[in-house]
Structure 1
Amino acid sequence: MLTADSLWGKWIKKYLLKKRSFWAVKSNSQMGSWMWRKMLKLRDIAKDFYKMEIGNGRHISFWYDCWSVRGVMFDLLGERGIIDLGIRKEATLEEAIMNLRRRRRHRSDILQEVERILDSVRSNIQGERDDVSNWKRRSGFGGAFSTNETWMMIRETNVQCDWSRGVGLQKQLPNLHLQPGWL
């Protein structure tokens, strides 16, 4: 859905996102199906599993995608960061680094650090290479999403109960009276 490689992903980008970032859509949106609204509510969990690898920066949201070592810029700087940096809310990473805005001297150390990150990205950007979506796996971030691995990483695992087999046996043979300590 985030890469829009599938027909469903393209439909979502056109009719539900409307040139906005998936991460920027309001959680209480009434657009889309109940499943879409449920996905919006689960974004905080999903955010930890998704990173962008910078290629040309054309398909990376400057404010809402995780492309920096500092994480998502909007989470780091908030609404005020948009004003302080002078980068519009819908900007791609390419727009942000190619913007002819003057580099500001900020009083805040975090804003100075973001300016240094932008300078570093500006010098390392690769215009001919596409951006790559990376998904968290057990072995680290990789290009392919795995539903199974993601489920195994987010679910809580418990030790199997020793008495669970006895419960199944009791259901199968209801007239069997188990003695304490039989299992």
Structure 2
Amino acid sequence: MEFRNSGSWIWKSIGKLRHLARPFIVYKLGTGITCNFWSDNWTGMGSLLEITQGRGPAATGLPKNAVVAEALREGQWWISQSRSRNPIIQLVKQCLPLPSVVDTRHDGEDDCFLWKVGEAEPSDIFSTATTWDHLNPPLDTKDWYEAVWFKEKIPKHAFVAWLAALNRLTTKDRLISWGLAVPPHCLLCGNHEESRQHLFFDCVYAEQVWQYFYSRAAVTPPNLFLDALVWLKRPCRNRNVAAILKLTFQASIYLLWKERNSRLHTSTSRPPVNLIQEIKVIIRSRLEPFSRIQNARQVLLVWRHAVSPAISDATVVRQYE
């Protein structure tokens, strides 16, 4: 099949994927009058034309456009009578199944295409999900997956938290490892070398942000970044508290990284109290739509006890009821 320059771009792009699709397509033989002997995968071993590297038709004398039924002579493969030692002919003989696979009856079933994924049995049912998983085997799920990708997440916060979990943020220790001449000191405190662990956990600036929220929630997460992520999957039994802790964690990571970049690129800085206030506003705004779907009183009272101790329960509930 040849593509012309005037053809559709989508059609030509699909055509370039034929080498991926071909191994999935097998022929279920019936009468053998439509299945091509050389190009179709009817033996279960692939295309005989590819197996013989394109030399099969010339070596055996069977035309390239011949169908399977034309390769039979009185109930036997025409090539079975050949005594040639030609390696191509011997290879074709080894690939051919028993002639009985062809239904020689006049009222026999027609040939048909089937879809075969991996070691599964061929089927006339196509599954996009199964085919995709076979072409793109899923990687092992990370231990911290649920701490990053959860229903209540804020997408941009989750994305930065995901990069941090993979240690793909351009912290100074990584820049130096790439050979860049940059000062190693942390932009938030200026006292230690900047790394993921220091920037988000060990830095005195970041510690003030964490201390404000986690002291009010009465929880003590691990001190190492990845350990904290694993702990954050199920930090407590209360589902609402757990969601708030995850939101707080990601918002803190996001704004700490944003503050670090602001100091690097614009030489502007803010005290930790400003970040704390912004995190409170962000999370409260995020909880509002969820509180309408779930138990509003429970969600908002959890938030009130976590970060807004100065506001009474009645005031918070009345504001959203």
TM over 0.5: yes
Distance 1:157 1:44 in 2: 22
What displacement does 1:52 show? 0.6
Q: What is aligned with 2:284? A: none
1:152 aligns with 2:129: no
Asked if the contact 1:60/1:93 (under 8 Å) is kept, the reply is: yes
Deviation at 1:160, TM superposition (A): 3.5
* Alpha-carbon displacement from aligned partner over 1:57-113 (angstroms, at most 9, x marks no partner): 122111111011442110111232111111111111122335997843221345135
- Residue of structure 2 in register with 1:59 after alignment: 34
Report the equivalent of 1:132: 112
Tell me the secondary structure at the aligned position of residue 39 of structure 1: helix
- Mapped to 1, the partners of 2:117 and 2:97 lie a distance apart of 30
Q: Does 1:93 align with 2:68?
A: yes
Whole-angstrom distance in 2 between the partners of 1:87 and 1:72: 15
**In structure 1, what is the Cα distance between the partners aligned to 2:6 and 2:103?**
36
Q: Distance in 1 between matches of 2:88 and 2:27?
A: 21
1:17-56 pair list within 5 angstroms: 25-26=1-2, 30=5, 32-56=7-31
Name structure 2 gaps, 5 residues minimum: 161-205, 211-223, 230-321
Structure with bigger gyration radius? 2
Which secondary structure state, in structure 2, belongs to the residue aligned with residue 83 of structure 1? helix
Report the Cα offset of residue 51 of structure 1: 0.8
Percent identity reads 26
Which residue does 1:14 correspond to in 2? none
2:95 is aligned with 1:120: no
- Select the residue among 58, 61, 75 that pairs with 2:50: 75
Residues 134-168 of structure 1 show CA distances to partners (whole Å, capped at 9, x for unaligned) of: 21146322122222211121113123342674485
TM-score computed with the length of structure 2 as normaliser: 0.40
Q: 1:172 to 1:42 in 2, by over 3 A?
A: closer
TM-score, scaled to structure 1: 0.65
1:111 aligns with 2:65: no
- Confirm or deny: 8 A CA contact 1:86 1:101 kept in the other structure: no
The separation in 1 between residues aligned to 2:155 and 2:15, in whole angstroms, is 43
Whether the aligned pair in 1 keeps the contact of 2:31 and 2:102 (CA below 8 Å) is yes
Q: Could you say which structure has the greater relative contact order, defined with CA pairs below 8 angstroms and 6 or more residues apart? A: 1
Tell me if the contact between 1:62 and 1:91 (Cα under 8 Å) persists in the aligned partners.
yes
Cα shift at 1:33:
2.0
Q: Provide closer, same or farther for how the CA distance between residues 101 and 141 of structure 1 changes in structure 2, counting only shifts above 3 A.
A: closer
Q: Which amino acid aligns with 2:12?
A: R
Q: 1:147 to 1:80 in 2, by over 3 A?
A: same
Instruction: State the secondary structure of the residue aligned to 1:36.
Output: helix
Q: Which amino acid aligns with 2:71?
A: A
CA separation of 1:29 and 1:58: change in aligned 2, threshold 3 A: farther
Q: Which runs of 5+ in 1 are unaligned?
A: 1-24
